[in-house]
Amino acid sequence: MNEIIGIIPHKFRRRGFGMACTLLLRAGLNFLGLAVLLPVLALALDARSLDGGGQLARIYTALGFTSPRSFALTVCAAVVAVIVLKCLTNLWLARIERNYIYDLYRTLSRRLYVTYHDRGLPFVKSSNSAVLARNVNVVCLAFTAGVLKPAAAIAAEALLLALLFGALLWYAPVAAVLTVAVFLPSIWIYYGLVRNRINRYGELENKAQREKARLVAETFRGYADIEINNAFPMMLRSFDRAMDQVIRTRLRETAIGMLPQAFTEIGLALGMALLVALSLGAEEGRAQLLFGVFAVAALRLMPSVRSIMAGWTSIKYNRYTIAVLRDATAGDEPSSASPDTLSGAAERAGKGPHTDAAAIPPSEYSAAESGETARGRRTAPDKRTASGRQTAPYGQTAPAKQPCTAKSTKSVSAGGTSGACASEILSFEHEIAVRNLGFRFADDGHELFRGLTLSIRKGERIGIRGASGAGKTTLFNLLLGLYEPTGGEITIDGTPLTAANRRAWQNRIGYVSQNLFIADGSFAANVALGVPDDEIDRGRVAEALEAARLGEFVAGLSKGMDTHVGECGCRLSGGQRQRIGIARALYRRADVLFFDEATSALDSRTEEEINRSVAELAARDKGLTLVVIAHRESSLEYCTRIITIGE
């Protein structure tokens, strides 16, 4: 139970007090529904109940009834009214409980989604996207519906059982003892039979469902390669094995789920047989009343016992969800704009402490500001930016930041909103500086960079090249704020890049990669990625498409920029996909464009056209900074400085 409570957010724990009151009220109402049946049962089984000095006789006299028949009809009508009111109230209380359960499901699912996002690119790259999607979409629902809801049902039914047993013990001790004698062994036998199996079945199904999700996602994501290589039969066999596992575990779980009803019915039959045996020779009216009380109590106890046993089975079967959610949902809701620095976050993540820049000796992974590359190749140094402004010396103080207010939350990206305040926008008028940068991956401990130093001045066109595995893309991810350095720092006009201002920095940049992300939407939605449809500036989309040399093509389509491009841009050519990436950066009015092997998968002619488009963009906007990773020399021809990352 402590594990379940630990997963529930604090605000829902506070609401849990109200839910406890709801459970108590429901248990009391259900008990009342049984208690009001006792007068009807007494009237039906003992005609002399109005003649003696019992409670019914006193009520009969006090209310002035003269006819037992009219009294019996009045009692029955009152009982029906109470039961109807009880049922209506229970429906209302059940609605409150359902709202609580599904509000919690929505919160947990959203929270897990945000948590996975905030863990950053290293976590995403080391995880299976299909498994993450299943955890967000399925596991959270399985926890709320398969663990928390049954736990609440067990609590409610346990309260009702306690009330019933207490009343039976006071009214009919023999019936109370007999009820415990027949139902408790049934519960104990059931528990002994299934306690270890049901948990294992749940884990097996979860593993098989994850495998199914992975296979389906990979089949359609890599359809062409799978089809050409005739890999689908193998994947189908794997899918069938996973499906067989799901069916086997489901069949076993269903069979186990039928056991509570069987055990309770057997217990009821045994109890009635024992009661008949004990009633032999007893007074006729008393025996009938005792038998009736036991029958009514047992018939109501049976669903409660079944509910408790089925709820316990569900909790055990879905116990794996607790392990999935435990770490991700600890504490308050994750924030995508933590005030901690990137290096501090890296230290907490176990990626090594933030190392002081002076303590890191320089290595071959460095590029001097004079234009000398890490390999010693010299390029012409630029003393001024392309816009003609003198570059500021390193360390110039950035403009002071204004305090962040609730009114200044509009993002600088077109039309969207962001967690970064507008007052936290980084100034980029001079240079991006990398000082004594260190980086290693947490999983293997391999130190990719140590003492890396370089600078990128505003308006420059920088080319980065090097052998495969030298760390070019990793360097990009560090500059983009997607990776967290384990040493040194990255500064923008002297301001360190941290988790607090990372969003503000990313609002200033555009990114075009070899595997550009294309959403299953329209041209407009992909160019203005992240902007709600009703906030897209269609004029700016048209301008961006035109500048990226897609305007004529899109204009010739029947739906224009509202034409859907297909999942991952499957209806587009490779060059068209890359041009969408360029248009996306232009729509954002980015100050810095990063190109990561953006043309490596294209043919020479298309690559030349893309390069010409980029060169024209740089020629039109002298303040635009370009940083390009490429293997081909032709893709670096328009660069003013080239940095070679050594092996």
Does the pTM surpass 0.75? The reply is no
The distance of Cα 364 from the centroid of its chain, to the nearest Å, equals: 42
Residue 6's pLDDT is 74
Residue 94's pLDDT is 84
Residue 283's pLDDT is 57
Closest CA to 535 of 417, 409, 407: 417
- Taking residue 393's Cβ as centre, other Cβ atoms within 10 Å add up to 9
Residue 282's pLDDT is 55
Cα dihedral across residues 133, 138, 143, 144: positive or negative = positive
Mean pLDDT over 469-492 rounds to 86
Return the SS3 of 513.
Answer: strand
Is 545 exposed, middle or buried (CB count within 10 Å of its CB: 0-12, 13-18, 19+)? Answer: buried
Residue 367's pLDDT is 39
Query: What gap in Å lies between CA 20 and CA 240, rounded to an integer?
Result: 44
Q: Are the CB atoms for 522 and 561 separated by under 8 Å? A: yes
Mean pLDDT over 104-112 rounds to 87
Task: Name, in order, each residue with C-beta under 8 angstroms of 110's C-beta and a sequence gap of 6 or more.
Answer: none
Instruction: Evaluate if residue 484 carries a pLDDT over 80.
Output: yes
Instruction: Evaluate if residue 533 carries a pLDDT over 50.
Output: yes
Instruction: Evaluate if residue 261 carries a pLDDT over 60.
Output: yes
Residue 327's pLDDT is 66
DSSP H helical ranges for 318-467: 320-328, 342-348
Query: What gap in Å lies between CA 51 and CA 198, rounded to an integer?
Result: 56
Residue 16's pLDDT is 75
Query: What gap in Å lies between CA 275 and CA 21, rounded to an integer?
Result: 36
Phi, psi values for residue 596, rounded to 5°: -105, 95
If one compares 635 and 492, the residue with the highest pLDDT of the two is 492
Query: What gap in Å lies between CA 577 and CA 558, rounded to an integer?
Result: 19
Residue 212's pLDDT is 85
**Host H or E run for residue 642:** strand 641-645
**Residue 492 half-sphere exposure toward CB, CA atoms < 13 A:** 23
Query: What gap in Å lies between CA 359 and CA 187, rounded to an integer?
Result: 66
Q: Are the CB atoms for 490 and 432 separated by under 8 Å? A: yes
Q: Are the CB atoms for 149 and 268 separated by under 8 Å? A: no
- Taking residue 179's Cβ as centre, other Cβ atoms within 10 Å add up to 25
Render pLDDT for 134-165 as a digit per residue (tens, 0 to 9).
888 888 888 888 888 888 888 888 888 787 77
Q: Can you tell me which residue has the tokens 């990625």?
A: 529
Q: What is the 3-state secondary structure (H, E, C) of 175-208?
A: HHHHHHHHHHHHHHHHHHHHCCHHHHHHHHHHHH
Query: What gap in Å lies between CA 91 and CA 579, rounded to an integer?
Result: 57
Cα dihedral across residues 252, 254, 257, 259: positive or negative = negative
Render pLDDT for 493-513 as a digit per residue (tens, 0 to 9).
888 988 888 888 888 888 887
Percent of the chain with pLDDT over 90: 0
Residue 1's pLDDT is 67
Q: How confident is the model at residue 589 (pLDDT cuts 50, 70, 90)?
A: confident
Residue 228's pLDDT is 59
Averaged pLDDT score across all residues of the chain = 73
Q: How confident is the model at residue 332 (pLDDT cuts 50, 70, 90)?
A: very low
Phi, psi values for residue 503, rounded to 5°: -65, -40
Residue 258's pLDDT is 76
Query: What gap in Å lies between CA 54 and CA 49, rounded to an integer?
Result: 7
If one compares 108 and 389, the residue with the highest pLDDT of the two is 108
Return the SS3 of 501.
Answer: coil
Phi, psi values for residue 179, rounded to 5°: -60, -45
Instruction: Evaluate if residue 351 carries a pLDDT over 50.
Output: no
Residue 278's pLDDT is 64
Q: Are the CB atoms for 95 and 53 separated by under 8 Å? A: no
The CATH homologous superfamily of the domain defined by 2-328: ABC transporter type 1, transmembrane domain (1.20.1560.10)
Least confidently predicted of 15-19, 193-197, 252-256, 431-435: 193-197
Q: Where are the domains of the chain?
A: 2-328
Render pLDDT for 400-447 as a digit per residue (tens, 0 to 9).
333 343 333 333 333 333 444 444 567 888 889 999 988 888 776 677
If one compares 459 and 412, the residue with the highest pLDDT of the two is 459
> Sheet containing 592-596: which strands, arranged edge to edge?
509-513, 592-596, 625-629, 461-466, 641-645
Render pLDDT for 601-627 as a digit per residue (tens, 0 to 9).
555 666 677 777 777 777 777 788 888
If one compares 124 and 229, the residue with the highest pLDDT of the two is 124
Instruction: Evaluate if residue 370 carries a pLDDT over 50.
Output: no
Mean pLDDT over 18-31 rounds to 80
Residue 601's pLDDT is 55
Mean pLDDT over 337-346 rounds to 35
Instruction: Evaluate if residue 60 carries a pLDDT over 70.
Output: no
Q: Are the CB atoms for 144 and 100 separated by under 8 Å? A: no
Mean pLDDT over 565-586 rounds to 80
Instruction: Evaluate if residue 594 carries a pLDDT over 50.
Output: yes
Query: What gap in Å lies between CA 456 and CA 472, rounded to an integer?
Result: 15
Least confidently predicted of 30-44, 100-114, 384-398, 529-543: 384-398
Percent of the chain with pLDDT over 70: 71
Q: How confident is the model at residue 519 (pLDDT cuts 50, 70, 90)?
A: confident
Structure tokens at 113: 């989604």
**Amino acid found at 408:** S
Is 266 exposed, middle or buried (CB count within 10 Å of its CB: 0-12, 13-18, 19+)? Answer: middle
Instruction: Evaluate if residue 632 carries a pLDDT over 50.
Output: yes
Structure tokens at 443: 């999983």
Render pLDDT for 85-103 as a digit per residue (tens, 0 to 9).
888 988 888 888 888 888 8
